Amino acid sequence: MPDFIYLASQSPRRSQLLQQLGVRHELLLPNAPGDVPEDAEAIEAVLPGETPRDYVQRVTALKLDAAVARWARRGLLPAPVLTSDTTVALGAEILGKPEDAAQAQTMLRKLSGQTHEVLTAVALQHGAQRLQALSVSKVRFMAMSDAQIAAYVASGEPFGKAGAYGVQGLAAAMIEHIEGSYSGIMGLPVFETAQLLRQIGWKL
């Protein structure tokens, strides 16, 4: 067993959570200089009628496929490959990453005073062995005024985050209740990730 894994994610929070577990890792990111271009947005497109649970697990599996192909193409040393995807769902509606301030404000107005789900899927490949887990948590926002939403969006924090917020940042002051995995809401459920690593023989 190698003493490190590949993390196929650009999220600094996922890297931080792996460090918390004491798992040494190297980033395996797309679109390196001279590499074959990859279209991440195409992977994240929602299919018609797709449920949030089906969506997040399908996207995570596709991300792992792309990462394993990237690993093989680059001729890298053998090691487990880990990837993850987080989706925010209000009922059956999937709230992705906002494209601009107006879209971020629209998403946050929908979440205001409501309870929504945060679904994070994790996928791990080690040789021919592939494992996947799903973490589902519930988050309730307080009722937020337009001024509060505008101020939060102006901070820049909503961008690049599913549902237009980050639980570990300024949004924490607006969250009334969490049920589930805090690390899963951040983007990498530590318990489920540890379980997958143990299944491939990783010593934590």
Catalytic residue among 3, 85, 100, 146: 85
Amino acid at 136: V
Backbone angles phi and psi of 181, in degrees to 5: -105, 115
DSSP per-residue codes, 54-69: HHHHHHHHHHHHHHHH
* Residue 120, beta-bridge partner list: 86, 135
Q: What separation, in Å, do the N-terminal and C-terminal C-alpha atoms of the chain show?
A: 13
The string of DSSP letters for 26-46 reads: EE--SS-TTSPP--HHHHTPP
How buried is 123 (Cβ within 10 angstroms: 0-12 exposed, 13-18 middle, 19+ buried)? Answer: buried
**Which residue's entry shows tokens 């980050």?**
166
Question: Which helix (H) or strand (E) segment is 42 a member of?
Answer: helix 40-43
100 is catalytic: no
Which sign, positive or negative, has the C-alpha torsion 7, 8, 14, 16?
positive
Are the beta carbons of 98 and 67 closer than 8 angstroms?
A: no
Active site residues: 85
